[in-house]
Amino acid sequence: MRAAVYSSYGSPEVLRINEVELPSIKNDDRVLIRVHNASVNQFDCLYRKGYLPTRLDNGFNKPKSSILGIDVAGIVEAVGKNVQRFKDGDYVYGSCFGSHAEYVCPPQSGLSHKPKNITFEQAAAVPCAAQTALQALRDVAKIKSGQKVLIYGASGGVGHFAIQLANYYGAEVTAVCSTSNLQWVKDLGAHYVLDYTKEDFTKNGQKYDIVLDAVSKRTFFGCLGSLTDNGVYITENPLYPMYHPVQLLVGSLLGRKKAKLHLAKPNNMDLEFLCELIEEEKVKPVIEKCYPLDQIVEAHRHVESGRTKGKVVLQIIS
């Protein structure tokens, strides 16, 4: 099968398309999926670059796992004997490692049936980004109706889902993004919009119950004055503990104001919940561009630019 692989850490140019061995079901709870689409996340770029925390997991000198990708949408071709939720021919979406390939064989625990009203392309945009936003707001921040939520990086992959989910939970949403995306995020459901190129939200005197930094550009100390007495600052930066340990420590000692790191924990229950919201048209994935697998280098460059509007997706199999 064809897959995008890398054998050394570095720039997007380390990626290439190779023929690799087709995966097989070696565990009774796994599902063989023919991949139609997968998305490209910052997670993939961090692993490809070989930042220190990722090297501790994936090999210090060279990657142990040569295929990137954590989101998948496709068709089930075979299931292990303990798999009860899926059968051959089912349309599924979910989380798995190595999805930048024509076939994957993930555990069933990270999968759900694909929402019926969206395409494989749209479904591939959902798992990591939407689960990140959902869990950050619902589980970490304990979002409540009527609260004021600020989303920094609101037009990105996590951010555009966070706007819609915060709206779903009845919060008042302030979206921070660039000039060109102001109307777009408002159309997604933001009640107020701020242009970060013209205004610094930390200096306008407004207070928020939740500040979600969806692009890891701000710090807890910088946002401290914008939090209510019980406010929560959440970052999605996987390198946060490495670069800002003092902030997490001080945040935990400040009493009611809190600093939290959140990384998504993929699970089928959240995917099924998101499937319901999508089918009820309360949440919709937005894709800026879909690249063919052969253009994996260009897709990584796009995501790495930090200017993605919604999600970047790969077309694996037509």
pLDDT, tens digit, 9 for 90 and up, residues 289-318: 999 999 999 999 999 988 889 999 999 987
> Is 270 a domain residue?
no
Assigned domain for 309 exists:
yes
Query: What residue ranges in 189-286 does DSSP mark as E strands?
Result: 192-195, 208-213, 227-235, 258-261
- Strands of 132-171, DSSP E: 148-152
Q: Is 303 in contact with 312 (CB distance < 8 Å)?
A: yes
Q: Are residues 175 and 74 in the same domain?
A: no
- 226 found inside a domain: yes
State how beta strands 16-19 and 31-40 pair: unpaired
pTM score: 0.93
When mean pLDDT is compared across 15-29, 231-245, 272-286, the lowest value belongs to 231-245
Query: Mind listing the pLDDT tens digit for each residue in 104-130?
Result: 999 999 999 999 999 999 999 999 999
Question: What CATH number did the domain enclosing 122 receive?
Answer: 3.90.180.10
Domain count, the chain: 2
Higher pLDDT, 310 or 217: 310
Res 237: pLDDT? 62
Residue 257 lies in a domain: yes
What pairs with residue 233 in β-bridges?
211, 259
pLDDT at 241 > cutoff 50? no
Close Cβ partners of 295 (under 8 Å, ≥ 6 residues apart):
none
Q: Residue 230 domain-assigned?
A: yes
- Dump pLDDT digits (tens) for 77-106: 999 999 999 999 999 999 999 999 999 999
Whether residue 39 contacts residue 124, with contact meaning beta carbons closer than 8 Å, is answered with: yes
Would you state the pLDDT for residue 250? 59
pLDDT of residue 221: 81
Domain coverage including residue 77: 2-126+285-315
